[in-house]
Amino acid sequence: MRISYPLLPLALAALLSACASRMPAGPSVAEGNLATTLTPIDQQLVARLRGEQQGREHQHIEALRGQPGQYTIGGGDILTIVVWGHPELTAAALIAPTPLISPTEQAAATAAPPQGFVVSEAGDIQFPFAGSLHVDGLTEVQARDALAARLARVIQKPNVTLRVQAFRSKRIYVGGEVRAPGLQPINDIPMTLVEALNRGGGVLPTGDQSHIALLRGGTRYRIDLPGLIRDGIDPASILLKNGDVLNVSSAEENKVFVAGEVVTPRALPMHNGRLTLNEALGETGGMNPISADASQVYVVRRNDEKADVYLLDAKSPGAMAVAEGFELRARDMVYVAPSGLANWHRTLSLLIPGSLPAAVSARK
């Protein structure tokens, strides 16, 4: 006996019509509390997004660039001062108390030969015949001339040599995916971005050179090191200042997610911050030739309180060339929609479990 289902085709037709419908391209569409926009991916969009991205990066970088200058003395630095012909003045140097050693060791260090003049937190040093001299913010040459002017009151034409022996007043912190994270003192070698990364031992293979964060005074700057080189900007022109925190992100934190009708849906790491839509589809094995609808390839990008949704019609001529120029960003979601036939098959399987022939008819 054959049992027919006269209402099944009508129900399936209505359901597949709803599944196959698309969100119309246009300005903003309210999706709950999140505003979304749907924009077709074409050559004009690719050029616009690339220009906006470069503009944002260059604007931030300009605030960090500068010309290296001479080191200026600060509180905590230790100076070596020699007045030629007057060794008794150099012998008067004192060692600053060090709270990290025991009183016995401190006493022994005090009895040892003097090593240098410590700049106080107020920026002053005490020197025989010169009294208290303010050297904070001065270069070695300026501090030397100021001390010589003081000594000239009691010494005829004093010949003074002044050098910074220990740089302790200015420091930065380098952390994240580097070989030797920790504090790095700023010395007479300009602390550029390249110098800071080198002192940190270099970026680990697990680090993402395109996502380097610089925290300065409560403001966070993102630095794309390979992007700077591509755009002809010298990374050594980025100067770090006292108190800066430099952090190299892990590549695991910056992935792109590919889902839907692809051969191998998975999360993809970016290659130094770069991954195109074409590369993402290729690295997941491409679109499933049986179930994918090549005209509905979506890229979902979250921006604060808004989600931008981009649509690629991969069936159109030249679509893959456009996809090669469409740069993905970290945390983007790429979704390939199923075809109408795939939707029909899955819906039918849900309504009537079992193989497709058994779902259409049953024999008794």
Q: Any idea what DSSP says for residue 237?
A: G
Rg, Å, the chain Cα set: 34
Could you check whether 2-54+254-359 and 78-166 share the same CATH topology?
no
pTM above 0.75, yes or no: no
Domain 78-166 superfamily per CATH:
wza like domain (3.30.1950.10)
| Domain 2-54+254-359 listed as CATH 3.10.560.10 | yes
Distance (Å, whole) CA 63 – CA 73: 24
Give residue-wise pLDDT tens across range 128-152.
Answer: 999 999 999 999 999 999 999 999 9
244 close to 221: Cβ distance less than 8 angstroms: no
Q: Which amino acid is at 93?
A: A
> How many CA atoms lie within 13 Å of 257's alpha carbon, on the beta-carbon side?
10
178 close to 203: Cβ distance less than 8 angstroms: yes
Whether 20 shows a pLDDT value over 50: the answer reads no
Average pLDDT of the chain to the nearest whole number: 81
| Domain residue spans of the chain | 2-54+254-359, 63-68+170-251, 78-166
Give residue-wise pLDDT tens across range 167-195.
Answer: 999 999 999 999 999 999 999 999 999 99
pLDDT at residue 1 in the model: 40
pLDDT at residue 305 in the model: 72
| Domain 63-68+170-251 listed as CATH 3.10.129.10 | no
Pairing relationship of beta strands 362-363 and 306-312 according to DSSP bridges: unpaired
Distance (Å, whole) CA 57 – CA 224: 8
